[in-house]
Structures are given as C-alpha cells and as structure tokens.
Amino acid sequence: MAFNSPTKIPHAEGEQFVKMRNQFCLLAYSVLDEAVGRIVLHQELTELGVSVMRKVAALDAEKNFLRKELADTRSRLEKTETELEVSRAALDFAKDDILELEFGDGEDREGADMPPVEED
C-alpha cells in the first residue's frame, strides 16, 4: 500500500521517535523540492537511516534480553513451585508422624485438631 503523504507515518511515543518521525516528514517534503541539493538529501537520509537502525538494533537487543529474563524467571518460578510441593509433602508426612506418635497406630484419629496444610 502506497502512502501519499508523510503525515501518514505512524506516531510513536518517546522523544527519539517523535524526532525521527519529524525528520522523515521533512525529508519526504525535501525530496520534492528541487532547490534542495541531492548531496544534502543523501547525507540526511543516511544519518536518519543510521539513527533508525541503531534504535531498532537497541530495541531488538532489549527484546532478546527481556525474553531471556522472562525464561529465567519462569524457570525459577517452576523450581520454587516444585520446592513448595516437596515442602508440603514433607509437612504432610511430618503431620502423619506426629499423629501416629500421639494416637498410636490402631487408635481412632477422628477429632485430631491438626490444622490442614494451606494451599495457594
């Protein structure tokens, strides 16, 4: 799809993006002005292209870093959840051992007031 006007360039938040968008708009209009030298346009377009690609590269690096951080955090969360399950199981076994010591093997355990293990 071809856009007929530089004003159709999407807006983005952030001072750098506003500046880049404005430069794109000015350059798009400058290309139509025959009084503007081609060498000047070439230099400005090259500078803007370098700035844009540096920003894209920085955003890509940040995205990759955040993906890695998210994967690490998820891994730590899984490990913590597993440790929690093991701790709950150990607590249940300890609770059974305490009840066994208090009431013996053959006696009725009804009425034992041990609080249940809380689950999140």
Measure the CA–CA gap between 92 and 107, rounded to whole angstroms: 19
Give pLDDT tens digits for 48-66: 999 999 999 999 999 999 9
Nearest to 56 by CA among 26, 25, 12, 1: 12
The lowest-confidence range among 35-39, 79-83, 104-108 is 104-108
- Give residue 112's pLDDT: 55
Give pLDDT tens digits for 4-42: 788 888 888 999 999 999 999 999 999 989 999 999 999
Measure the CA–CA gap between 115 and 120, rounded to whole angstroms: 15
Tell me the H-state helices in the chain. Answer: 15-32, 38-103
